[in-house]
Amino acid sequence: MSTATHAQTSAPRRRRVNLTVIAPLVALLVLIGIGMALNPNFLSYANITNVLARSAFIGIIAIGMTFVITAGGLDLSVGSMAAFVAGLMILVMNLLTDSMGPGLPVIALGIAVALLAGLAAGFINGILITRAGIEAFILTLGTMGIYRSLVTWLADGGTLSLGYEMREMYRPVYYGGILGIAWPIIVFALLAILGEIAMRHTAFGRHCAAIGSNEKVARYSSVAVLRVRLATYVLLGVLVGIAVVMYVPRLGSASATTGLLWELEAIAAVIIGGTLLKGGFGRVWGTVVGVLILSLIGNLLNLTDFVSPYLNGAIQGVVIILAVVLQRNTGAAR
């Protein structure tokens, strides 16, 4: 403790910042090293593709969550929202197949439904938080329950499955790709790059950080606080829609257990990546690293019998806590 304080006061400012910046990267590299030692197939093309593609859903949602948290908000409804949007999309696509026959227009309309439903859901969250002044934690806790019930109701307690022909036609959106890189990975990477640019180099990103840091000061600096905050929830909703567009072709089904605990995984990834939970500072690339760390832990535990599978959650928990401990030294001064 005394050495840490000493280092903080005497070392140059930039060096202290660098340490917390590289912490998630170091953790990621350590995990990759463990993976290589455990199993020769760890770095195989198939395993890397699997891990990256399955990270894409949480990853895409976590990018949106980074903006929401940076602006001092929170969204607990994204997992349920994803399940509901997926259920709705499958239902609409099945209905359209009956009347239009299987084909690309059905897929296009299905994707449109997912994106619009995500946007609408995000807008509802955002407008109630900003205009009705309901605490984000409470409101999204409410909508979390609502969407989860709605998908159970839509599925009649069972599972909503996409018709067989449509499933075959839509399948390549998850399993296909260009140059051997699967579509979910490409979409995730593109959105991460766009998100990083938006966070660092646009007025929107700066306004998010300003609001999260000090709402009053932001308002006096003529930042449209309510509108920016609303925009973060709408953006998150649309990203949930995009994640669903990639998720549905994987198993072609949605049920009441779809997207369970995704909200917590997304929030955990954001925090591991170095974004401050209390808002004011966010970084999208860190979130991407956080998502990879979380899914690598799961992957490694499945590749070995070394640790009891009961302890999977415990290991993820330790990583999350360590990440927050590391953050303690970075003030909200930025």
Partner 1 sequence: MKATLPIKATLVATTALLGLTAVPALSQTVGISIPAATHGWAGALNFHAERTVARLAEANPDMEFVLTTTSDPGQQVSDLEDMVATRGIDALVVLPFESEPLTGPIARIADSGVWVTVVDRGLAQEGIEDLYVAGDNDSFGRTAGQYFAQTLDEGAQVVVMRGIASTVDNERVAGFEAALEGSGVEVAAMDHGNWNRDTAFNLMQDWLSRFPEIDAVWAADDDMAVGALAAIDQAGRTGEMFVVGGAGMKEMVDRIRNSDPTVPVNVTYPPSMISTAIEMTVLGLTAGAPMSGDFIIASELITPDNAENFYFEDSPY
Give the range of 185-193, 214-222, 299-307, 319-327 binding partner 1 by CB under 8 A.
299-307
Instruction: Label the pairing between strands 177-178 and 159-161.
Output: unpaired
Closer Cβ to partner 1, 260 or 315, answer by number: 260
Indicate whether 310 belongs to the interface with partner 1 (CB under 8 A): yes
d(CA 57, CA 293): 14
The reply on whether position 39 binds partner 1 by CB under 8 A is yes
- In angstroms, the CA 54 to CA 126 distance is 28
CB of 158 to partner 1, least distance (A): 3
Using the rule CB under 8 A, give the single segment among 16-24, 120-128, 223-231, 251-259 that binds partner 1: 251-259
Q: Which of residues 13, 156, 178, 220 is near partner 1 by CB under 8 A? A: 156
Closest approach, Cβ 46 to partner 1, in A, equals: 6
Position among 152, 214, 329, 330 found at the interface with partner 1 (CB under 8 A): 152
What are the CA-CA distances from residue 136 to residues 57, 194, 260 (Å)?
23, 26, 20
**Which CB atom, from 299 or from 327, has the smaller least distance to partner 1?**
299
Exactly one of 299, 316, 323, 327 binds partner 1 (CB under 8 A); that residue is 299
Binding mask 194-233 for partner 1 (x = CB under 8 A): ----------------------------------------
| Residue written as token pair 């593609």 | 53
**CB-based contacts of 101: which residues, under 8 Å, 6+ apart?**
none
Amino acid at 174: Y
* CB-neighbour burial class of residue 162 (10 A; exposed 0-12, middle 13-18, buried 19+): buried
Judged by CB under 8 A, the chain residues 47 through 66 that form the site for partner 1 are: 47, 50, 54
Looking at residue 190, the DSSP 8-state letter turns out to be H
Nearer to partner 1, 143 or 299 (CB): 299
Which 3-state string (H, E, C) describes 33-102? HHHHHHCCCCCCHHHHHHHHHHHHHHHHHHHHHHHHHHCCCCCCCHHHHHHHHHHHHHHHHHHHHHHHCC
With binding defined as CB under 8 A, does residue 161 bind partner 1?
yes
Which listed residue (31, 127, 206, 298) binds partner 1 by CB under 8 A? 298
Q: Does the footprint of partner 1 cover residue 330 (CB under 8 A)?
A: no
Say how many residues touch partner 1, by CB under 8 A. Answer: 31
- Show Cβ contacts of residue 188 under 8 Å, excluding neighbours closer than 6 positions: 52, 55, 56, 59, 60, 288
Quick check: 329 binds partner 1 (CB under 8 A)?
Answer: no
Contacts with 253 (C-beta within 8 Å, 6 or more apart), sequence order? 90, 159, 160, 161, 162
Closest of 235, 262, 89, 69 to residue 160, by C-alpha: 89
How far is the C-alpha of 61 from the C-alpha of 238, rounded, in Å? 9
What's the rounded Cα separation, in Å, for the pair 326 and 334? 16
**Which listed range, 13-21, 22-30, 44-52, 229-237, lies at the site for partner 1 (CB under 8 A)?**
44-52
CB of 192 vs partner 1, minimal distance in Å: 21
Q: How far is the CB of 266 from partner 1 (least distance, A)?
A: 15
Per-residue x/- marks for partner 1, 99-138, CB under 8 A?
----------------------------------------
Residues at the contact surface with partner 1, assessed by CB under 8 A = 39, 41-42, 44, 46-47, 50, 54, 152, 155-159, 161, 175, 250-251, 253, 255-258, 260, 298-299, 302-303, 305, 309-310
